[in-house]
Amino acid sequence: MRRAGPRETFHGGEEGVKVLCAWCKKEGKPDAEALIGEKEPLGDLTQTHGICPHHRQEVEDRVAAFREEIQREAQRREQEARQRAEEEARRAREQAERQRAEVEELRQMVDP
């Protein structure tokens, strides 16, 4: 691992591990634009990745939209299930009514 001597940095001391936004890098931005900051250990010139505030907000917005979509889908499915249950109950009532009518018709045939 390469070590550098003291340089002027964000915190006025030695450079540390550079934290780059992985999303910015994926978009092709140069390291200078993707740089979020530096962290210890000082004197270590390696890089690590994180996420910048802009891309973090994008991710949070996408997650929120996805949650809303899931909630809408769950509500739609609940409504469909209620409608199916109501339809089945209606059919069952109609069948019971037909059976009662048949029973009454048979009674009248047996005991006029």
Number of domains in the chain: 2
Which domain does 8 fall in, by range? 1-51
Q: Which residue has the higher pLDDT, 108 or 59?
A: 59
Rounded Cα distance, 37 and 13, in Å: 13
* CA separation for the pair 109, 102 (Å, rounded): 11
Residue 18: enclosing H or E segment and its boundaries?
strand 17-21
Report yes or no on 89 lying in a domain.
Answer: yes
| DSSP, residue by residue, 13-50 | SS--EEEEEHHHHHTT--HHHHEEEEESSTTB--EEEE
Considering the domain architecture, whether residues 42 and 67 belong to the same structural domain is answered as no
pLDDT in tens, 35-89: 998 888 777 778 889 999 999 999 999 999 999 999 999 999 999 999 999 999 9
Same domain, 81 and 43: no
pTM of the model: 0.57
Alpha carbon of 4 to those of 7, 17, 44: distances in Å? 8, 11, 8
pLDDT of residue 14: 64
* 1 and 45 co-located in one domain: yes
pLDDT at 99 (0 to 100): 94
pLDDT in tens, 3-32: 233 333 444 556 788 999 999 999 999 999
